[in-house]
Amino acid sequence: MIISKLPNVTTTIFTVMSKMAKDYGAINLSQGFPDFPSDSLLTQYVSEAMDAGHNQYAPMQGDLGLREIITQKTQSLYGRTYDPNTEITITAGATQAIFTAIAATINKGDEVIVFSPAYDCYEPAIELFGGISVPIQLRPPSYAPDWDKVAHHITDRTKMIMVNTPHNPSGAILSEDDMLQLQALAEKHNLWVISDEVYEHIIFDGHAHQSAARFEGLSKRSFITASFGKTFHNTGWKMGYCLAPEPLMSEFQKVHQYNVFSVHHPAQKGLAKYLQKESHYLSLPVFYQQKRDALLHLIKDSRFNILPAKGTYFQLLDYSAISDEGDVAFAERLTKEHGLATIPTSVFNKNQEDFKQIRVCFAKKEETLTAAANILNGL
């Protein structure tokens, strides 16, 4: 008999809703992936790397050329230099990086502060290693942290705070003041930080991404996780990386080497060549803001209450003027009866609190967004 280490974990809502979309032939705005291809030049570079024979294990830390490019990118964007030899690891997506950072630092009884709604990989990883999640609920419409409340939840058992900016699923972002308050608490209480920054390049309306790398005190105690898949429209490649100061990265790599050891070598070679041009990621804010604005324009006369997302490629839609159903029931009915799959957000909240909001992904082609908008306008 197997005694489950995660007895309360069920199938992720992303899998459930994507399967439902397939079963009912629905437009899938649930799971966060583009329905358009990544740049053919990038796939060409990866194919060339395969043809050149880069098909065996990459170095455990990742291809050195790619790590060097990441060093340059981080210095250029955030003014912080990470040593490519000791402070950067290429990972199998950001989820593996988050899991590995938790595995490397969290022991039985350690408390980890997590902001809800939270990406659903956080709490199971904490629980798996004996940690205790301490959720603090963010609330609409702003989904802004209350740092006094955070301070109140810190105990002598608190080991870490996890943040995500731009934030999935709300589309909110942390300000410079937010990061300074986080830094002050982390320094005062000697806490580690995981800063999940997978949507760092998808940020709108002239805002600047406030990476933990920008802040001296935070950078010394943070794991920063990033995603090539989110940035370059190829989530199926599962390519990401982690930045951390050498003492933290040393512990991270002890787990990483026995978890995945290394990740897809040709993709690393292709990305290293592709990233030599900054324009590939600097153009993303305009690219995705156009998609956000196109969707919002298409549904401006709908009955949804909408606060435009400040980042990510997700938009929350408040349906309280349409139905008093719970969001899970509403999302299921929207899929089965109207042919549109979305994500109910209560599943990410503390005690599954229901704000009558669904999340849609707008990383889609124009015709997909138009078809989805026609359904939403009819509700």
Residue 11's pLDDT band, with cuts at 50, 70 and 90, is confident
Which tens digits make up the pLDDT trace of 20-79? 989 999 999 998 889 999 999 999 999 999 999 999 999 999 999 999 999 999 999 999
Tokens linked to 294: 């196109």
Q: Where are the alpha helices (DSSP H) in 190-226?
A: 216-219
Separation CA 160–CA 223 (nearest Å) = 11
Please give the pLDDT value at position 359: 97
Ordered by where they begin, the domains of the chain are: 13-31+283-377 (3.90.1150.10), 41-277 (3.40.640.10)
Cβ–Cβ < 8 Å for 173, 311:
yes
Which tens digits make up the pLDDT trace of 318-346? 999 999 999 999 999 999 999 999 999 99
Residue 317's pLDDT band, with cuts at 50, 70 and 90, is very high
Tokens linked to 32: 């966060």
Phi and psi at residue 6, in whole multiples of 5°? -135, 65
Please give the pLDDT value at position 222: 98
User: Is residue 377's pLDDT more than 90?
Assistant: yes
Separation CA 70–CA 355 (nearest Å) = 39
Q: 297 vs 29, 114, 258, 325, 359, CA distance in Å?
A: 17, 34, 49, 26, 17
Which tens digits make up the pLDDT trace of 285-308? 999 999 999 999 999 999 999 999
3-state secondary structure of 295: helix
**Long-range pairs, 344-351, Cβ under 8 A, ≥24:** 344/13, 345/117, 345/169, 345/316, 347/13, 347/120, 348/116, 348/117, 348/118, 348/119, 348/120, 348/169, 349/116, 349/117, 349/137, 350/116, 350/135, 350/136, 350/137
Separation CA 316–CA 358 (nearest Å) = 6
Q: What percent of the chain shows pLDDT beyond 70?
A: 100
Which tens digits make up the pLDDT trace of 232-269? 999 999 999 999 999 999 999 999 999 999 999 999 99
Separation CA 314–CA 39 (nearest Å) = 21
User: Is residue 10's pLDDT more than 90?
Assistant: no
Q: Please tell me the pTM assigned to this model.
A: 0.96
Please give the pLDDT value at position 278: 79
Q: 113 vs 68, 197, 369, CA distance in Å?
A: 32, 17, 36
First-to-last CA distance in the chain? Answer: 48
Please give the pLDDT value at position 201: 97
Please give the pLDDT value at position 31: 87
Count of Cβ atoms closer than 10 Å to residue 294 Cβ? 15
User: Is residue 9's pLDDT more than 90?
Assistant: no
Residue 280's pLDDT band, with cuts at 50, 70 and 90, is confident
Please give the pLDDT value at position 321: 97
